Structure 1
Amino acid sequence: MTIVDAVVVGAGHNGLVAANLLADAGWDVLVLEAAATPGGAIRSAEVTAPGYLSDLYSSFYPLGYASPVMRRLRLTDHGLAWRHAPDVLTHLLPDGRAATLNRRPETTAASVEAFAAGDGARWLDAYAEWRAISDRLLAALFTPFPPVVGTAGLLRRLRVAGALRMARRLILPVRRLSDELFRGEGAAALLAGCALHTDLSTEDAGSGVYGWLLAMLGQERGWPVPIGGAQRITEALVARLRVRGGRIEYGVRVDRVLTARGRAVGVSTVDGRRWQARRAVLADVPAPALYLDLVGAAQLPPRLVEELAHFRWDGSTVKVDWALSAPMPWKNRAAAGAGTIHVGGDLNGLTRYAAALACGEVPEDPFLIIGQLTTTDPSRSPAGTESLWGYTHLPFRREWSADDVLAHVERMEAVLEDHAPGFGRLVVGRHVAGPADLERANPSLVGGAIGGGTSSAYQQLFLRPVPGLGRADTPVDRLFLASSSAHPGGGVHGGPGANAARAALARDRALTGDAYRLAVSAAHRAIYR
């Protein structure tokens, strides 16, 4: 039996972040990964044509680039380097017009001004408001719930009246927020398209804050990619962990969290081995997998098991990579320099798209999030070509037929052909990953859901993954949830992994650890009795 201080289940980026922080504290850390390689949903490979590098899952990282968690790890010391496209984002409207977000605020302002007089100044005002609070807001977002220190800093800056207005903004639908901030379609499309990076609709409570957050992060810091592929993030996390003495075992599938007297003491794996953890077990797996598969309902409060029946996944995803022999022939050349392009709807069109998903229907006019990887990072394909990346959503289902997926890919390509005539003739290679393909390659992407659970307000903060503490602590002592199913949720920012590591360290402190355990245990008894 191998004995270590902490076992981390899963070498996705959250698991690797947690392992790094525990190793920084001097712990002997072992990461067990079922796959042959690390990274979870942060991996790259040549899957379309030789010489064309694709990001297999996630790509473009405004949250990862801005996250205080990732910045404190100083991954640039371990080989990670970032690159920005000339423009951050372009939203193509059905009538051919385009709204463009550029890291120069004046350039963005000029783009949205073309849609409505005064919107340029309104954009600059909104950005100034963001700049005044962005550091404090990000600090609050990426710390355990409740974010006492970060929120206190925000309150000092905003004061009572400003805090009340901010609280209202946090729950507004993106349509309403756009109406209040702007007059024209351009700025509204930028916000709404950003909001639909989640599984929310333009009418859902809380969708406004996602659109505002991603748009303003793009304005302030951009949406960069790692030079040489998303895999570079994973490689930097692994290299950093090894320097600090942490270890990773690959091809090792955990099938059970071992407990004794209500405490996690290690894990077992499908090959019959046992791995003892003296201090903590941290799991970078979806909440249902941790609680129902690895722990088991018999070891949990019945109320928690009942609540898990209401856990909601985000939508299924269809992801396509294309190798193009030349740059995209966009009708509106405003899209030519953008790293990310939103294609397929004005505000009303986005509402109809989201409504179809909510009704369990396949949208006839899909909204596409497109990435021009070579435009952003020329190392991704030969000179004069483009490595193109794109995805859209389907209603959540565990099973989608190959025919259904390919039919939807045809819809995606028809949208692209409409906005970039001749696109199809440039395709020299294509790789399609439907919901089942995504889950098969990474079991944490259940049904092709990429967010670890819905971003809806009813499954955020202290309601994530189920009503509770909103923290990484579980009802099993020294067992911590470190995946995007935990607060602060999906995205490549390391928040859930960092929160789990902080909780494990707090539980283990010599003088206060027992008091921490008793407080968490009492809270869980009150919630799940």
Structure 2
Amino acid sequence: MTSPATPTGSTVPTGAESADAIVVGAGHNGLVAANLLADAGWEVLVLEATESPGGAVRSAQVTAPGYLSDLYSSFYPLGYASPVLAGLDLDRYGLHWTNSPDVLAHLLPDGRAAVINRDLDTTAASLEKFAPGDGDRWRHAYADWREVSGPMLETITRPFPPVRGGVELLRRLRVGGALRLARRLVVPVRKLGDELFEGEGGPALLAGCALHTDLSPEEAGSGVYGWLLAMLGQEVGWPVPVGGAQKITDALVARLTERGGRILYGARVDRVLTARGRAMGVRTAGGGLWRARRAVLADVPAPALFLDLVGPDALPPRLVEDLAHFKWDGSTLKVDWALSAPVPWTNREVATAGTVHLGADLNGLTSYAGALARGEVPRDPFLLVGQMSVADPSHSPPGTESLWSYTHLPFRPNWRAEDLTGHVERMEEVLEAAAPGFRSLIVGRHVAGPADLENGDPSLVGGALGGGTAAAYQQLFLRPVPGLGRPDTPVDRLYLASASAHPGGGVHGAPGANAARAALARDRALTGGLYAGVIGAAHRAVYR
């Protein structure tokens, strides 16, 4: 990305429209931030580039009349369990959750399936079929999770360093247990599966969950993602909002509006205006100027914020250099289908799972991830599949199915249409092999390639869903670049509120909440000067 030539040091004219906080972007993180600031009594204005709110949390009928599709994200274990979203009481604004009968099924190439059900005995019985004792091994792994789940989620959704959650984890686990947990946070998912289970079922479940990110089964840190998603599935399921993902966005918008917050659509911000190292407001395409009396919060990817909206001239040179090494997660290809009947799975254990992983065993996942790492389109795609009508029957007419699947691609800013068409064909071949007759049930299809995903949500650059790689070298205090692991930026009163900030991707609201908390802390009358001084000194130490 390149920076516009417009000077960055101009202030906003006093006649410009103003608000206490300008939030750039009405994705779920931007809406969470706006809600928390409104709760504190701030006047909040959200400027959204597109004509609708929600970013990657939206629904529409795109395949056939009567079939509802979640356009981007669908299942929300982290959203349901998130202390951030729970604290907003979104059920008062129409958000209600439901679960599929089974949480997740991983269908192996030989036709066997490992299944997670919210009933622990049912999950254990599924894994016991793969190896004697694996049912009890799953129970043991889940007991380990239950011991730490509360403080872990608190730790994940708070700014770095996570003092409160970290202290509680240490209190519960003591030194030895905390060190073992630290090891689990960095171990590859293949190694974790080998340590926990004897059969193929447990490792496949963990590895399939880990590959919701852009990490390979052999990559450091992949184990914690697999463990987290699998154990959340056991604890709370992978819930969906009744009536589609849009209900999350609708609830956030209704809550914000009730508190006096405003959202302006079709207002693409093309510059953060700064003066004397401080964010003063923003400019929108067409020349509109908007004054921020207290803060600017940006729910946009880090490269877009720093290089495009602020501009290199207003940033420490070291930060600009670090951004040259920022790594996106992979591109994504998503297909939605309207089916005239449920998916005709050969293995009927899969029929009641909301989410299905198929197309690869553990070695196949390694091959698939290896092709992506080499920049190749995998010949045998690993599919993540959502049976939305199984999870929430309101997605389609009775006796039918609203189905989606996505698969990862190497990150590229531009994809040829013929490459995507060929890959959609391969995706359907995988489904047809597991469910003969699948193709004959298709009454509508909607294909969203990387460019389509980005056109619908400009934050999904190149079809990357996570705001940047989930690799360990770009997490915690290294996200989005080596720094403080906080939403504060080197520009005073400017905060990064997107998935590019700690703790990263997922619909949990933590980046937005962290940015709002930082803005409130900076603004407090008695501590604002000290806060700004400390943060400013820290940034100078990091980026000098």
Using the TM superposition, give the Cα deviation of residue 271 of structure 1 relative to its aligned residue in structure 2, in angstroms: 1.8
Q: Distance in 1 between matches of 2:185 and 2:243?
A: 36
Report SS of the residue matched to 1:519.
Answer: helix
Residue 242 in structure 1 maps to residue 257 in structure 2: yes
SS in 1 for 2:144: helix
Structure 1 position 483 matched with structure 2 position 498: yes
Give the TM-score, by structure 1 length: 1.00
**Structure 1 CA distance for aligned equivalents of residues 45 and 346 of structure 2:** 52
- Please name the residue that 2:327 is paired with: 312
Partner residue of 2:65?
50
Alignment-derived partner of residue 366 in structure 1: 381
- Cα distance in 2 for partners of 1:36, 1:525 equals 39
From 136, 140, 145, give the equivalent of 2:155.
140
Is 1:178 matched with 2:177? no
Matched, 1:224 2:242: no
* Matching residue of 1:355: 370
Question: Whole-Å Cα distance in 2 between the matches of residues 349 and 476 of structure 1?
Answer: 46
Instruction: Write out per-residue CA displacement over residues 412-466 of structure 1, whole angstroms, 9 at most, x where no aligned residue.
Output: 0000000000000000000000011111111110000000000000000000000
Match of 1:263 among 278, 284, 304: 278
Which SS does the other structure have where 1:34 is aligned?
coil
Unaligned runs of 5+ in 1: none
Q: Which residue of 2 aligns with 1:274?
A: 289
What residue is the counterpart of 1:85 in the other structure?
100
**Worse overlay, 117-126 or 434-443:** 434-443
One-letter identity of the residue aligned with 2:429: A
Name the counterpart of 1:397.
412
The corresponding residue for 1:153 is 168
In 1: Cα distance, 2:130 partner to 2:456 partner? 43
Q: CA shift at 1:164, angstroms?
A: 0.5
- Residue 46 of structure 2 is matched in structure 1 by 31
- Does 1:474 pair with 2:494? no
Pairing partner for 1:294 from 295, 305, 309: 309
Q: CA offsets, 1:158-190, max 9 Å, x none?
A: 000000100001000000001111111001110
Please report how far the alpha carbon of residue 132 of structure 1 lies from its aligned counterpart in structure 2 after TM superposition. 1.0
- Please, which runs of 5 or more residues in structure 2 have no aligned partner? 1-15
Counterpart CA distance in 2 for 1:491 and 1:92 is 24
Give secondary structure in 2 for the equivalent of 1:412. Answer: helix
Between the aligned partners of 1:274 and 1:233, the Cα distance in structure 2 is 30
Q: 1:378 corresponds to which letter in structure 2?
A: P
One-letter identity of the residue aligned with 1:14: N
CA distance in 2, matches of 1:84, 1:361: 36
CA distance in 2, matches of 1:271, 1:41: 26
The one-letter code matched in structure 2 to 1:446 is: V
Offset from partner CA, 1:247-295 (integer Å, 9 cap, x none): 1001111010011111001001112111001100000000000000000
Counterparts of residues 330-341 of structure 1 (less than 5 Å): 330-341=345-356
Per-residue deviation, 1:338: 0.3
Q: CA deviation at 1:497?
A: 0.2
CA distance in 1 between counterparts of 2:261 and 2:199 reads 52
1:187 and 2:224 correspond: no
Distance in 1, Cα, partners of 2:359 & 2:77: 22
Deviation, 1:478, is: 0.2
- Report the counterpart of residue 125 of structure 1 in structure 2: 140
- How many angstroms does 1:143 deviate by? 0.2
Equivalent in the alignment of 1:204: 219
Matches of 1:513 and 1:403, distance apart in 2: 55
Equivalent position SS for 2:376: coil
Distance 2:288 2:273 in 1: 12
TM-fit CA distance, 1:513: 1.1
Aligned with residue 427 of structure 2, among 394, 412, 428: 412
Q: Tell me which amino acid in the other structure corresponds to 2:188.
A: P
Shift of 1:373: 0.3
**Cα distance, 1:97 vs structure 2:** 0.2
Distance 1:228 1:440 in 2: 24
Q: Deviations over 1:48-80 (max 9, x none)?
A: 000000000011001100000000001001000
Count how many residue pairs are aligned between Structure 1 and Structure 2. 529
Aligned partners of 1:441, 1:4: CA distance in 2, in Å?
27
SS at match of 1:15: helix
- Cα deviation, 1:476-525, whole Å, max 9, x if unaligned, reads 00000000000000000000000000000010011111111111111111
State the Cα distance separating 1:348 from its structure 2 match.
Answer: 0.4
Matched, 1:116 2:141: no
TM-score normalised by length of structure 2: 0.97
Alignment of 1:488-507 (within 5 A): 488-507=503-522
Percent identical across equivalent pairs?
Answer: 75
Structure 1's consecutive aligned runs of 4 or more residues displaced over 4 angstroms after TM superposition are none
Distance 2:107 2:340 in 1: 23
What CA distance in whole angstroms lies between the structure 1 residues aligned with 2:184 and 2:148?
14
